[in-house]
Amino acid sequence: MLILGINAYHGDASAALLVDGQLVAAAEEERFSRIKHCAGFPRLAVEYCLGAAGARVEDIDHIAISRDTRAHLGDKLLYALTRRSPAGLLKGSLGASDPKVHLGAALGVDPKRIRAASHNVEHHRAHLASAFFPSGFDEAAVLSIDAFGDFVSTMWARGRGNKLEILRHVGFPHSLGLFYSGLTQYLGFPKFGDEYKVMGLSAYGQPDLLDKLRQVVRVKDGAFELGLEYFQHHTKGIAMTWEGEPRYGPIHSERLIDLLGPARSPKSPMEDRFMAVAASTQAAFEEVYFELLATAKHLTGSPRLALAGGCAYNSVAAGKIRPKGLFDDVFIQPAAGDAGTSFGAALYVHHHKLDNPRGFQQTHSYFGPAFSQETIDELLRKEQVAFETLPDEDLIPRVARAISEGKVVGWFQGRMEYGPRALGNRSILCDPRRPDIKDAMNERIKRREMFRPFAPALPLERVGDYFEQTSPDPFMVKVYKIKPERRAEIPAVTHVDGTGRLQTVTAQENPRYHALLSEFGRQTGTPVLLNTSFNASEPIVCTPKEALDCFLRTKMDVLVLERAYLERAPAL
């Protein structure tokens, strides 16, 4: 049985394909279109997923779309009738065209030839399914938190076996994700998906403005509410563009300026007061976030939590869940944002609608394209690039030595990661022991703000040597405290507050990456590498050609494409 999941006409458009309940392929459209957070219909991602399974569109049994415009229709009508709702609030709510029409048009196939049954899965149910069903938990509290989807921003459920029981939700106009996005815009980061910049900046300030921000978002009755006077999405609406690169207009109102002072314009100096706003935004977010988690615990009594939605990417908050003692085990979907809803929608149909038993546990995120050594070698010969093809027993020590010498390495191998994190297959790697490497990476390679941190990767068996928490995190979704005695050893991946967003690596899930970490540890005594995504102001590279182009236009020193080794000639 083939189930194609699709997230379309929203940011981070994506596709995922289940074959007999197993995830065989998943990818974001941006990786193929090269448009960050690409919206619209994910034609290229769908084509990849089908190709990875050797299938045709006519072979699909079910199509699952992570959107249901009829969901919460009563709430939408009531809101529109009782309040001054923004223009277009109900646009599209009274029906949606058959996804087979869009799929056929995108792939150049007569929709009548597509025999698949179509399913619209409510946005947050797709998020919940993406978190619970691959978690490995028989039973768990399940929570989805984001901006909005199908008129809802937050949803609680109990997951048990192959079913989700919806317990509670928070609807429009209140949204914790929209709160964070509004403050992100205030701080001069206007692009879709810029919220992680505020999270990184928050470590540089003190939450001196928390009392003021409690007027903007506040805990209420086990959930929260917005101070709506500080927003305009519920009155004027927000101008949005959902084709190509998604864009949206101002979220906050002038009342936020009255409360906090003039907003920062993009690229203007980062004043101390803006760092205080960032720290206070993170603190206010966490107050609400942990109230929502406490409610999940109260509603279910479960010691296990499965979490998704864009707010699950707040790795600073996620790293505090276990220490707070609410839950013993936590699974956060590595594609927690809207890209993951294609996977979640497919899982929801497979388990909840078709009543199939569970048999897939997600232990890695390598579900994108891979490329053969022959393809890579042919490319390099065509581009007239000098390279060597080496066996791993020679390649891995050579790469480890290059990193120990201060060289920056582009590391490309295996299947591309699904989700926003580079987890050792499309990564840039360098030496975390060098205190100057962070600024050099931000300036020379990544071309991004100097306050943004880099992540440490290390073998799972060594995590207790460096971090105060020892639970595995293969998906790089939690920030943990680095042991004080180790911070001077790895300054390039130690944030100003003594934390790091670690990735734990096992030989079972990624043997070559694990071997490189172990070899670097053997050579230097430090089995930790700085790992950041293989890109520079673009989506993470997908193909060898994109990796080569990124290498050539930046100041990386070494490029590894599977077993091909390239080294930039030293400057004269």
Residue 93: which pLDDT band, with cuts at 50, 70 and 90?
A: very low
pLDDT digits (tens, 9 = 90+) for 56-68: 999 999 999 999 8
Whole-angstrom Cα distance, residue 453 to residue 449? 9
pLDDT digits (tens, 9 = 90+) for 183-236: 999 999 999 999 999 999 999 999 999 999 999 999 999 999 999 999 999 988
Inter-residue long-range contacts of 272-277, CB under 8 Å, 24+ positions, other chains counted: 272/205, 274/187, 274/188, 274/201, 274/205, 275/201, 275/202, 275/204, 275/205, 276/205, 276/206, 276/207, 276/208, 276/209, 277/183, 277/186, 277/187, 277/205, 277/209
Per-residue pLDDT at 83 = 60
pLDDT digits (tens, 9 = 90+) for 5-41: 999 988 999 999 999 999 999 999 999 999 999 999 9
pLDDT digits (tens, 9 = 90+) for 374-390: 999 999 999 999 999 99
- pLDDT (average), residues 497-519: 98
CB 38 within 8 A of CB 13: yes
pLDDT digits (tens, 9 = 90+) for 284-294: 999 999 999 99
Whole-angstrom Cα distance, residue 48 to residue 17? 10
Beta strands in 8-86 (DSSP E): 14-19, 22-28, 62-65
For helices 392-404 and 511-524, give the axis angle rounded to 10 degrees.
50
pLDDT digits (tens, 9 = 90+) for 400-443: 999 999 999 999 999 999 999 999 999 999 999 999 998 888 87
Q: What is the mean pLDDT of the chain?
A: 94
Q: Side-chain half-sphere of 300: how many Cα atoms within 13 Å?
A: 28
Picking from 351, 414, 360, 419, the residue whose alpha carbon sits closest to that of residue 14 is 419
Among the ranges given (24-33, 84-93, 96-105, 233-242), the one the predictor scored with the smallest mean pLDDT: 84-93
Total-model pTM: 0.95
Residue 544 has pLDDT above 50, yes or no: yes
CA distances, 255 to each of 138, 232, 395 (Å): 47, 10, 58
CB 514 within 8 A of CB 506: yes
Residue 89 has pLDDT above 50, yes or no: no
Per-residue pLDDT at 472 = 95
Whole-angstrom Cα distance, residue 570 to residue 58? 53
Picking from 471, 477, 457, the residue whose alpha carbon sits closest to that of residue 323 is 471
Task: Give the chain's end-to-end CA distance (angstroms, integer).
Answer: 60
Residue 88 has pLDDT above 70, yes or no: no
- pLDDT (average), residues 99-112: 86
Per cent of the chain over pLDDT 90 is: 84
Whole-angstrom Cα distance, residue 173 to residue 202? 26
CATH numbers and ranges of domains, the chain: 2-123+336-353 (3.30.420.40), 176-332 (3.30.420.40), 373-567 (3.90.870.20)
Residue 496 has pLDDT above 50, yes or no: yes
CB 150 within 8 A of CB 69: yes
Instruction: Name the DSSP letter for residue 236.
Output: T
pLDDT digits (tens, 9 = 90+) for 115-164: 999 999 999 999 999 999 999 999 999 999 999 999 999 999 999 999 99
Per-residue pLDDT at 475 = 98
Residue 73 has pLDDT above 80, yes or no: no
Per-residue pLDDT at 549 = 97
Per-residue pLDDT at 572 = 46
Residue 311 has pLDDT above 50, yes or no: yes
Rg over alpha carbons for the chain, rounded to the nearest Å, is 23
Contacts of 437 (CB under 8 A, 6+ apart): 406, 408, 430, 431, 492, 530
